[in-house]
């Protein structure tokens, strides 16, 4: 039995299979709409995350399966002092697969020890969120046609943004990736990623302070939210925040086939006027998330369209 | 693609079709129990409303469809500062139709601009609640056999009650409707409805202060809740509230085929002793709400019982 | 139409049928996976109880049925002042069967008066929780092979623990049951159970203060949570609590086929090291709860595997 706790649990080959399957699901939805009949997904969300939860639930339903679960800890037994491990062990008698989100890092991993069904980490604190990473990889592959030979700009909060960290690690396994980090100094990439990933693997990267100076080079622009509370003082926040807001004006020199991504929810870091630009891929990205979760659920459950018919 | 945001979005003809379909669903449930197979309804309730939400969910399930969503804003991404428009746009990738309730007037309309699936307004603040109006129309038509030639008494909070305002507008399109407004002065019908609806369309109406004085005339008695907090002072509330509570005694002079309606939830404005009176239609009304929502979902999705078999 | 409000609503014969059906469901899951197709269970949880709710939902789904409902009172109309009776009456138009949990004793019984579908009490305050009792009976019968000739130790909070009270009443109907009550004096069994059950029916029982002194006699050890807030002072709690925590050491003299039960959630009253002991049955117990609820739903709905094929 396999779980998915860390995006790096999957080999490059396994990711390729998942993305191929997700592509096939998009092309042949009918083929897959009963493959999980009589199977149940439990969504155990110890902290709320509507988008992720609904994406998992839609994924399971489009495979013909059922969904049960909870959407926040206060509707769970956690409030009575039960351990996560106990909750998950009991639920594993009620469902065939579990998607679990928890504010505490490592909670999903701890849950795997006693469990008899596959667990998918749907986000554990600032740590991992592997289905977001799979969503990002699927978006890049579908929009650019490849996962190598890319210049990827990452913009905003690169210090705390786990999606950025995971995506860097995941992309570092492909050939000829060039990373450009666009952030205020206060929110730049942690040293350990620079050392353990970029330097160890001899990957090209640079840090810059504005989008404009690198825009013409970018194949991918990955935007993230800059949260006010990350700054030491209001003055710094006000001085810096505009540099990390994407608007139409900043896109003037961008490539015609730039792919603009964002894990969502967006607050104001991308102007809504950019939404109509064909390069804006973030709503497509949210949609791809459903398909890659369908592929993942099928893979972990060991079901396939062929077997089922 | 059609949405349903305001009850007046639907023509008299379209309402007739919906009510005919709802009637047919009641007669031939089996014919409809798979028509929405493999389709999904998202219930996005940014404020709680159990009855309305469960009615939508039951409706979709009885059509063979699936349901996902959230039941209050604190389990949604709204708490992270996401716009309603973004939330709805993402969810439109996860569902085939959306029923949305929001405390802010106009939110469902705003949501329609970027969305690729039909949206049903399940109540936006004090503004519109079109499926309640459809429920009311269905109840009147089924219980009285017609939507014209009726004397309709409306009792309680006529100032703030959106269901009353919507029902008046909806009924104003039928022939020979006579409205009687029964309310304390503090809670009487807003002037704009008197001018824009009654006077402009030359519709008969009167205002009275007690149910008893008009009870023998009524074909319909539409009760609403009188909330204590609407009054300026406790003394007024206590003095007035009994006049707007329906009990058996006040029904002595009522017609034998009076139809008593209430949008529910009821607190104490109808004595529970009235529940067993055959003229009490409010629980049937709640049930009809399910059937008219089934008809609406089918219509907006463009599915029909015949096509599907 | 039948409801299940009090565990004693069911005769010994009816319980035997339910447990037989639950056993058959375990053996032949496929036979049952469509028997509730097109039927809906409403889970009305006026207070949260994840485990119980998910168990009911999984049960209905494994019978091919649908589920709708709410998981806490603040997502229900109760906050608008509606009576439970009204809520349930409306919901009975949306579902074929209702599982209801309520903090107020007697609420589920009150709800049955106006309702047109079967109601299952999923716990009403400190009062009844009949599906827990059925779960316990099923666990005992499956693990011990019988419901008579047993020595049952009950440990922990015997004063407030409704599961203990219900199980005593239920087991008192079988032959040759010997009860041993293991609790601090502050939390010992209420007098009325001793008088109305043990003395009236001439059942053997004793009270002890430690597990160790009776461990070798026990066929069943039923553990419950000792809540700190039940004690008059911290000192008493600290002095006493260890006596009512089960660990490996205390099991040294236990029978090889002892069956350790717990209604869950567990906090610290059973050491997690006991979990791997083959005598630990509490996770199996949670699983049996699903099957006995499947049997109950089928029975109250009047459906059977044979009719359906």
What pLDDT sits at residue A196? Answer: 95
Q: Is C33 exposed, middle or buried (0-12, 13-18, 19+ CB in 10 A)?
A: middle
Same fold yes or no, A7-128+287-301 and A131-278: yes
Has residue B308 got a pLDDT over 50? no
CB B22 within 8 A of CB B294: yes
How much of chain C, in percent, has pLDDT values that exceed 90?
Answer: 81
Q: Which fold has domain C131-278?
A: Rossmann fold (3.40.50)
Has residue A58 got a pLDDT over 70? yes
Average pLDDT over every residue of C154-171: 93
Subunit contact B40:A55, Cβ cutoff 8 A: no
**Contact status of B8 with chain C (Cβ, < 8 Å):** no
A51 is in an annotated binding site: yes
C78 falls in which pLDDT band (50, 70, 90)?
Answer: low
**Contact status of C267 with chain A (Cβ, < 8 Å):** yes
What pLDDT sits at residue C308? Answer: 45
- B191-239 pLDDT tens trace: 999 999 999 999 999 999 999 999 999 999 999 988 777 777 788 777 7
Q: Which of B33, B265, B283 sits opposite C80 (nearest CB)?
A: B265
Q: How far apart are CA A33 and CA A25, in angstroms?
A: 9
What pLDDT sits at residue B309? Answer: 43
B255 is in an annotated binding site: no
What pLDDT sits at residue B225? Answer: 87
Of the two residues C296 and C227, the one the predictor is more confident about is C296
* A309, C168, C174, C219 from C149: Cα distances, Å: 51, 14, 8, 9
Give yes or no: B52 in active site: yes
Q: Which of C66, C81, C95 sits opposite B265 (nearest CB)?
A: C81
| Touching subunits for chain B (3+ Cβ pairs under 8 A) | A, C
Which of 3.50.50.60, 3.40.190.10, 3.40.50.1370, 3.40.50.300 would CATH assign to domain A7-128+287-301? 3.40.50.1370
The alpha-carbon gap from C37 to the nearest alpha carbon of chain A, in Å, equals 12
Q: How far apart are CA B208 and CA C36, in angstroms?
A: 52
Q: Which of B75, B86, B94 sits opposite A72 (nearest CB)?
A: B75
Cα-Cα-Cα-Cα dihedral sign, residues B29, B32, B34, B36: negative
Supply B106's token pair.
């106009």
Has residue A77 got a pLDDT over 60? no
Has residue C309 got a pLDDT over 60? no
Average pLDDT over every residue of C244-273: 95
Average pLDDT over every residue of A36-55: 95
Has residue B303 got a pLDDT over 50? yes
CB A182 within 8 A of CB A209: yes
Give yes or no: A209 in active site: no
What pLDDT sits at residue B227? Answer: 75
What pLDDT sits at residue B72? Answer: 85
Q: Which of C42, C74, C83 sits opposite B48 (nearest CB)?
A: C74
- C121-161 pLDDT tens trace: 999 987 899 999 999 999 999 999 999 999 999 999 999 88
| Helical (H) or strand (E) element with B120 | strand B119-124
Please report, in range form, the residues annotated as the binding site of C for carbamoyl phosphate.
51-52, 101, 129, 132, 264-265
Which of the residue ranges A180-194, B77-91, B166-180, C113-127 has the most confident prediction, judged by mean pLDDT? B166-180
**Contact status of A112 with chain B (Cβ, < 8 Å):** no
Subunit contact A48:B76, Cβ cutoff 8 A: yes
Residues in chain C closer than 8 A to B61 (CB atoms): 40, 66, 68
- C177-212 pLDDT tens trace: 999 999 988 889 999 999 999 999 999 999 999 999
A309 falls in which pLDDT band (50, 70, 90)?
Answer: very low
CB B204 within 8 A of CB B167: no
Give yes or no: A129 in active site: yes
What pLDDT sits at residue A78? Answer: 58
Which of B98, B42, B66 is closest to A62 using CA atoms?
A: B66
Q: What is the 3-state secondary structure (H, E, C) of C245-308?
A: CECCHHHCCCCCCCEEECCCCCCCCECHHHHHCCCECHHHHHHHHHHHHHHHHHHHHCCCCCCC
C241 falls in which pLDDT band (50, 70, 90)?
Answer: confident
**Contact status of B51 with chain C (Cβ, < 8 Å):** yes
- Average pLDDT over chain B, rounded to an integer: 93
B242 falls in which pLDDT band (50, 70, 90)?
Answer: confident
B75 falls in which pLDDT band (50, 70, 90)?
Answer: low
Which of the residue ranges A180-189, B106-115, B212-221 has the most confident prediction, judged by mean pLDDT? B212-221
What pLDDT sits at residue A308? Answer: 45
What pLDDT sits at residue B261? Answer: 98
Select from C50, C70, C138, C289 the residue whose CB has the most chain A CBs within 10 Å, as the one to mutate to test that interface: C50
**Contact status of A37 with chain B (Cβ, < 8 Å):** no
Q: How far apart are CA C251 and CA C248, in angstroms?
A: 5
Q: Chain B, 72-111: which have a CB under 8 Å from a chain A CB?
A: 74-77, 79-83, 85-87, 89-91, 93-95
User: What is the domain class of B7-128+289-301 according to CATH?
Assistant: alpha beta
A146 is in an annotated binding site: no
The torsion angles phi and psi of B76, rounded to 5 degrees, stand at -115, 170
What pLDDT sits at residue A162? Answer: 86
Average pLDDT over every residue of B146-166: 94
From the CB of residue A199, how many other CB atoms can be counted at a distance below 10 Å? Answer: 11
Average pLDDT over every residue of C69-88: 80
Which of B117, B98, B103, B132 is closest to B6 using CA atoms?
A: B132
Q: How far apart are CA A308 and CA B260, in angstroms?
A: 53
Subunit contact C75:B48, Cβ cutoff 8 A: yes
Supply A73's token pair.
């800890």
Q: Where are the domains of chain A?
A: 7-128+287-301, 131-278
Supply A132's token pair.
């977001």
Nearest C-alpha in B relative to C89:
B283
Can you give the length of chain C in residues? 309
What pLDDT sits at residue B235? Answer: 82
What residues of C act catalytically?
Answer: 51-52, 80, 101, 129
Please report, in range form, the residues annotated as the binding site of C for L-aspartate.
80, 162, 225
Which residues of A79-190 form beta strands (DSSP E)?
97-102, 119-124, 150-155, 177-182
Of these residues, A17, A51, A195, A228, which one is catalytic? A51
Has residue A179 got a pLDDT over 70? yes
Has residue C255 got a pLDDT over 60? yes
Which of C189, C238, C243, C242 is closest to C211 using CA atoms?
A: C243
Please report, in range form, the residues annotated as the binding site of C.
51-52, 80, 101, 129, 132, 162, 225, 264-265
CB C223 within 8 A of CB C246: yes
The alpha-carbon gap from C204 to the nearest alpha carbon of chain B, in Å, equals 49
Residues in chain A closer than 8 A to C51 (CB atoms): 77, 87, 90
- C79-94 pLDDT tens trace: 677 899 999 999 999 9
How much of chain C, in percent, has pLDDT values that exceed 70?
Answer: 97
DSSP string covering C60-81: HHHTT-EEEEESSGGGSGGGGT
Residues in chain B closer than 8 A to A99 (CB atoms): none
């Amino acid at each position: 039995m396999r779980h998915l706790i860390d995006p790096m649990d999957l080999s490059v080959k396994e990711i390729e299979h998942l993305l191929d399957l997700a592509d096939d699901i998009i092309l042949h939805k009918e083929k897959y709409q009963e493959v999980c009949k009589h199977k149940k997904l439990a969504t155990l969300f110890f902290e709320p995350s509507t988008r992720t939860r609904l994406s998992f639930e839609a994924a399971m339903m489009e495979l013909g399966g059922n969904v049960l679960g909870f959407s926040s800890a206060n509707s769970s037994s956690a409030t009575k002092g039960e351990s996560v491990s106990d909750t998950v062990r009991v639920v594993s008698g009620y469902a065939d697969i579990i998607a679990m989100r928890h504010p505490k890092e490592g909670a999903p991993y701890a849950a795997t020890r006693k469990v008899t069904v596959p667990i998918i980490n749907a986000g554990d604190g600032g740590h991992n969120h592997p289905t977001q990473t799979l969503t990002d990889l699927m978006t890049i592959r579908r929009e650019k046609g490849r996962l190598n030979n890319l210049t990827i700009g990452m913009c905003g909060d690169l210090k705390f943004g786990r999606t950025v960290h995971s995506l860097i690690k995941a992309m570092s396994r492909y050939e000829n990736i060039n990373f450009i980090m666009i952030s205020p100094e206060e929110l730049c990439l942690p040293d350990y990623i620079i050392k353990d990933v970029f330097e160890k693997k001899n990957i090209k990267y640079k840090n810059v302070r504005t989008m404009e100076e690198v825009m013409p080079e970018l194949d991918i622009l990955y935007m993230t939210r800059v949260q006010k509370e990350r700054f030491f003082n209001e003055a710094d926040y006000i001085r810096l925040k505009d540099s990390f807001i994407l608007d139409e004006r900043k896109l003037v020199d961008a490539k015609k086939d730039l792919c603009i991504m964002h894990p969502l929810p967006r607050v104001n870091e991308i102007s809504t006027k950019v939404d109509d630009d064909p390069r804006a891929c973030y709503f497509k990205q949210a949609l791809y998330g459903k398909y890659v979760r369908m592929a993942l659920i099928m893979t972990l459950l060991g079901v396939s369209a062929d077997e089922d018919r």
